[in-house]
Structure 1
Amino acid sequence: MSKEFSRAQRVSQQLQKELALILQREVRDSRIGMVTISDVEVSRDLAYAKVFVTFLCVGEQTPESSLAALKEHEVPVRMALGKRIRHRLTPEVRFTYDNTLVEGMRMSNLVSEVLSEDKRRQEAAGRTDEQEASEQKKSEGDAE
């Protein structure tokens, strides 16, 4: 079983490299923009490849529109891939938008917001404590 896993992993890495080159050199579509292949998952029988992509969108481009344009090129990309790799079967390529980078940035921003809010609250509470302490000292000084 581990042999299957390592083969699928090797094929996945090879596909990622080859697909990146194909998208960079052979697919000419301005609707796609800059695309990055973040991961490739290959089925156990190596018949399907789920390709996770991210986009650097410029202007009015959105990840959804870029993905739709990229999906139009699935068949030509598979044909180009078949010419480059030496496998009995060329996997069917399925492009999927990878939102982990966007979600990671969102989570990082949320954590930063919470930390800054917590710091602000601690500073406000610290000032209040200091004010109370100075008032107590004044009242103790007046009592003497």
Structure 2
Amino acid sequence: MRKNSIKNTRINGEVLRELSNIIRGEIKDPRINPMTSVVTVEVAPDLKTCKAYISVLGDEESQKATLAGLRSAEGYIRRQLAHSINLRNTPEITFVLDQSIEYGVRMSKMIDDVTKDIPDRTDEAEEETEE
């Protein structure tokens, strides 16, 4: 199976959905932030390994605690994944903290701060048409 094949894409989507359900509904670890979401999942073509990119809404300490909680529950998550998805091999999951959403929000704020000082072009165009 190739990396970007249709089968691999379907497996990635299925693992993403089941992993989200397991993290949201079945793990009772208090270290895991309730605002944790699975952004992307990359399952290797041989189905041996899997990288799960996790986004946590909160401060840096909360993100580290959530990652530690997920890593300690890795065996349980893998077993639940094996029960819900029928694959030849259940992949070994590696959790990676994804900062892309936080980075996008920060960039958006910076752009808004810069553009608030610039007058709107629509106001200038209206003044020119009135004259």
> Deviating runs (4+, > 6 A) in structure 1?
none
C-alpha distance in 2, partners of 1:4/1:89?
19
Do the aligned partners of residues 65 and 2 (structure 1) sit closer, same or farther apart at CA in structure 2, a change above 3 Å counting? closer
Q: Give 3-state SS (helix, strand or coil) of 2:30's partner.
A: coil
Please list the CA deviations of residues 100-126 of structure 1 after superposition, one character each: whole Å capped at 9, or x if unmatched. 11000011011111112334xxxxxxx
The answer to whether the Cα contact below 8 Å between 1:42 and 1:48 also exists between their aligned partners in 2 is yes
- Which letter does structure 2 place at the counterpart of 1:33? N
Do the aligned partners of residues 2 and 74 (structure 1) sit closer, same or farther apart at CA in structure 2, a change above 3 Å counting? closer
Do the aligned partners of residues 66 and 111 (structure 1) sit closer, same or farther apart at CA in structure 2, a change above 3 Å counting? same
The answer to whether the Cα contact below 8 Å between 1:31 and 1:61 also exists between their aligned partners in 2 is no
Q: Give 3-state SS (helix, strand or coil) of 2:117's partner.
A: helix
C-alpha distance in 1, partners of 2:54/2:30?
16
State the 1:19 CA deviation.
Answer: 0.8
- The share of aligned pairs that are identical, in percent, is 31
Question: Structure 1: 5+ residue runs without aligned partners?
Answer: 120-144
Task: Name the residue aligned to 1:75.
Answer: 75
Please list the CA deviations of residues 52-99 of structure 1 after superposition, one character each: whole Å capped at 9, or x if unmatched. 1112348x9521121111111111101111111111100111111111
State the 1:46 CA deviation.
Answer: 2.0
The answer to whether the Cα contact below 8 Å between 1:49 and 1:92 also exists between their aligned partners in 2 is yes
Task: Name the residue aligned to 2:99.
Answer: 99
Higher helix share: 1
Choose 1 or 2 for highest CA Rg: 1
- The count of residues paired between Structure 1 and Structure 2 equals 121
- Which letter does structure 1 place at the counterpart of 2:47? L
C-alpha distance in 2, partners of 1:74/1:110?
37
Matches within 5 A, 1:1-144: 5-34=5-34, 35-57=36-58, 62-119=62-119
- Which letter does structure 2 place at the counterpart of 1:27? I
- Which letter does structure 1 place at the counterpart of 2:11? V
The answer to whether the Cα contact below 8 Å between 2:41 and 2:51 also exists between their aligned partners in 1 is yes
Question: Structure 2: 5+ residue runs without aligned partners?
Answer: 120-131
The answer to whether the Cα contact below 8 Å between 2:3 and 2:44 also exists between their aligned partners in 1 is no
